[in-house]
Amino acid sequence: MIFPLDTLDPAAPLDDLAWLDEAIGDARVVAIGESAHYNREYLQLRHRLLRYLVERHGFGAYAMETGFPEAWQVDAWVRGGAGELGQVLAEGTTSLMGLWTQTGDQLRWMRERGDLGFYGVDLPGSMVSMLPGLDAVLAYLAEADPDFQPDPAIRETASSTAAPSAFSVATAMEGYGKLAPEARDALTAGLADLSARLTGHRLAYVRRTGAEAYERALRTMRVTVDLDAFCRRLPDGDRESMMLIRDAAMADTMEWILRREGRIVLGAHNGHVQRTPLAMPGTSPVTMLGAHLADRLGDDYLVIGTTTGTGQILNANPDFYTGTLFAPTQEPEPGSFDAFMAARHDGLFALDLRRLSPADAAAVRAVTRQRGGAGELYVDQNPLEAFDVVIHFPHVTPADPDPGALACSSGDVREAFTRWLAVAGGASPEGSDPK
């Protein structure tokens, strides 16, 4: 059944979303996908749907595809803590996820409410640097176990993967690749020792710091160990194993959050939240976050996916790292799910895949591919099995860089954004001059 959407303005009346009530039911997790990262329209949709789910259905937390340990800074801020929003956006999110005014608008609204939690579900350090997670664990141990002296070689070796931003990922990966096998093994063993210490001293640590701080530190340790396993596949380029490790870790983190929160909104890429394995070109189908959640939660998991017409989306080419952040995308290929959706209605609309007419159900069942997000990538897809609801965007545009966030970002971020804005015809945001 088609439901036209009046607007993406998060502050507009929410009555055009009333059709969601039947779809949501008693779901504990509502996942909102996106066809690509950093688009204005997808970020506005998440904000608008979050408002609806909070105000009409009592959802109490928002989880996002960003680093788990870094996100605690965001959580503290939205709950009323000190700090400037720009710094929170820059330091509390990873992989450039927070550098956009649309994300800032959502966080500002969450802070105004004061009763919502924010969580990161992804591996730390833009999925390459272990330092954010390791430093958080070491800081906790300094409080919980001040007589303990961790081996300084653990942090020294982890520093080889230090990445101040997503633009430094290639350098960090190169640094890890240059480590001798013995050094990689020693890092893995050192992290395992720290993890064993945390679990073995649980009762004493909880008495000293409280259960909340302990559980946070233990989960941070676990995702840092997962990132180490992820990085160990880098030299061999074992992309399939890396995807499996990352998404299983995100599912475990979501399960951890669910022990703290009643109902959660999850924002991530379509490929992560879909119920079915992801079939990327060149790899076997990989079990992703959404497939884990569907298995663990059953009907308590609802997936809202997206499709796209034209516009500008994340650039898949290497020049992304020098500032060409977005690239034009063409009309969807005939026979794709995006083309099917574009033919159903001219504007922005939602389609409830569980309430299709027999003719539309048969047409969707015949679809075998969907736009994957970056560039003109298409992935094998069965939409009826992957999603519950799909929202189609006729046209998408780049999100707006947040000047405060860029001013608090590392130099490589400011330089890349300045180049992009210059080419795109925009002015360099105040405070973002890389010099």
Give the β-pairing of 264-267 and 117-122. unpaired
Stretches in the chain below the pLDDT threshold 70: 375, 425-435
Letter for the amino acid at 265? V
Please return the burial class of 154, using the count of CB atoms within 10 Å of its CB with bins 0-12, 13-18 and 19+.
buried
Name the nearest CA neighbour of 50 among 262, 265, 263.
265
193: in domain: yes
Question: Which H or E run contains 365?
Answer: helix 358-365
pLDDT at 427: 42
224: in domain: yes
382: in domain: no
Alpha carbon distances (Å) from 385 to 271, 295, 305: 13, 13, 11
Question: Which H or E run contains 313?
Answer: strand 301-314
pLDDT at 164: 81
Q: In the 8-state DSSP scheme, what is residue 233?
A: T
69: in domain: no
pLDDT at 1: 78
pTM to 2 decimal places = 0.95
Alpha carbon distances (Å) from 109 to 51, 77, 336: 9, 11, 36
161: in domain: yes
Render the burial of 341-360: b for 16+ CB within 10 Å, e for the rest: bbeebeebbbbbbeebeeeb
pLDDT at 434: 32
pLDDT at 431: 40
184: in domain: yes
211: in domain: yes
Distant-in-sequence, close-in-space partners of 361: CB < 8 Å, separation ≥ 6: 384
d(CA 332, CA 309) in angstroms, rounded, equals 6
Domain of 150? 126-236
Alpha carbon distances (Å) from 181 to 176, 184, 188, 377: 10, 5, 11, 35
168: in domain: yes
HEC sequence for 43-65: HHHHHHHHHHHHHHHCCCEEEEE
Instruction: Report the domain count for the chain.
Output: 1
Q: How far apart are the first and last CA of the chain?
A: 53
Distant-in-sequence, close-in-space partners of 290: CB < 8 Å, separation ≥ 6: 31, 272, 273, 274, 275, 276, 301, 303, 386
DSSP string computed for 259-275: TT-SSEEEE--HHHH-S
